[in-house]
Amino acid sequence: MRPVYAAVARVVVVTGLLALLAPAVGEALTLRDMLGREVTLPGPPARIVSLVPSATEIIFSLGAEDRLVGRTDFCDHPAGVRHKPSVGGMVNPNLETLVALKPDLVIATDEGNREETVRQLARLRIPTYLVHANRIAETVDLIARVGVLTGREAAVAPLTGEMMRRVEAVRRAVAPFPRPRVLYVLWPEPLIVPGRASILTELIDIAGGSSITAGDGDAYPRFSLEAVVARAPDVIILADHSTGTSAAGRPAPEQWQRLASVPAIKAGRLHSADLSILHRYGPRVPDGLETLARIIHPEAFR
């Protein structure tokens, strides 16, 4: 059994046990979040504010959007989420707006939300559940946890099962081909790349590539153009941060064309990819994986 399938099987079993152990309405509920913190609630949360775009997408995908009463400006998928009140950005949410929504629970992350925000929520006695996922298996775990939090345990297995089916389909499609060296650029200046603890590193590997920064730093270390030239990537993928018609954050490929000695530039294998489907550890992980695989191995998908 592949590790990812084993992870799904374990999560389904754990989810079922948690469902059996979940208290009835009106009874106290004590859980541990993904950082091991104890979170005590008066009962199953009926009013949730999500400060994490990935968690917001999971809530909708599980059919629990009626429990979501607030989100951030970055929670932009699916389209229905735009009808939910926004509390502002991830880094500096408006706590006055958040409190006015009277949440039973806030879902936050240690990557993207500030520690000070979590401390302020604690001082306001608003329970906060921290999430963290740097691997597909952890994404599956997160979906199961959100299923328990929202009372949508039965929706977990169909969702995660379809996700893993698509992941394995990509793995099989690219298996016959050589593994090109891949550089993924999260941000150009300073140059930031996915390191050993980034989900992008795992996705590039499953998509049939070999990330040239897989052993660097932690999650998103800085890199240098000199190192790019030295490690000679065969494929370069630039993250596209732009939204809609806005040009802000749109990749500038001309800046990379001057690295004429790099194999990716010689071969014309400089690409861009939508950041929103590659950096969210939620139901659209297979979308991001398939995008990477088609860029790295177009010959596998003709």
**Residue 132 and residue 71 share a domain:** yes
**Residue 137 and residue 60 share a domain:** yes
**Residue 12 and residue 145 share a domain:** yes
**Residue 152 and residue 43 share a domain:** yes
Residue 170 lies in a domain: no
Q: What is the pLDDT of residue 111?
A: 87
Last-in-domain residue among 130, 159, 188: 159
Region of 217 on the Ramachandran plot (φ > 0 left; ψ -120 to 50 alpha; else beta): left
Q: What is the pLDDT of residue 5?
A: 45
**Residue 130 and residue 33 share a domain:** yes
**Residue 101 and residue 20 share a domain:** yes
**Residue 214 and residue 97 share a domain:** no
**Residue 180 and residue 155 share a domain:** no
**Residue 263 and residue 118 share a domain:** no
User: What CATH number should be reported for the domain holding residue 186?
Assistant: 3.40.50.1980
Phi, psi of 91 (to 5 degrees): -75, -40
Q: What is the pLDDT of residue 176?
A: 97
Last-in-domain residue among 159, 191, 207: 159
Number of domains the chain contains: 2
**Residue 145 and residue 219 share a domain:** no
Residue 8 lies in a domain: yes
Structure token pair of residue 61: 């995908």
CA distance 14 to 12: 6
Report DSSP letters for the chain, one per residue. Answer: --HHHHHHHHHHHHHHHHHHHPPPTTS-EEEE-TTS-EEEESSS-SSEEE--HHHHHHHHHTT-GGGEEEB-TT---SGGGGGSPB-B-SSSB-HHHHHHT--SEEEEETTTS-HHHHHHHHHTT--EEEE--SSHHHHHHHHHHHHHHHT-GGGHHHHHHHHHHHHHHHHHHHTTS---EEEEESBTTTTB---TT-HHHHHHHHTT-EETTTTSSSSS-B--HHHHHHH--SEEEEEE---TT--TT---THHHHT-TTSHHHHTT-EEEEEHHHHS--STTHHHHHHHHHHHH-GGG--
**Residue 260 and residue 152 share a domain:** no
The pTM for the full model equals: 0.86
**Residue 209 and residue 138 share a domain:** no
Q: What is the pLDDT of residue 249?
A: 54
Does residue 53 contact residue 108 with C-beta atoms inside 8 Å?
no
Q: What is the pLDDT of residue 250?
A: 58
Residue 169 lies in a domain: no
Running along the chain, 302 residues long, what does each successive block of 10 average in pLDDT? 49 44 60 94 94 97 97 94 95 96 96 93 96 95 96 97 98 97 93 93 98 90 93 95 54 81 95 88 95 97 84
Residue 226 lies in a domain: yes
Residue 74 lies in a domain: yes
Does residue 208 contact residue 234 with C-beta atoms inside 8 Å?
no
Domain, as residue range, for 131: 3-159
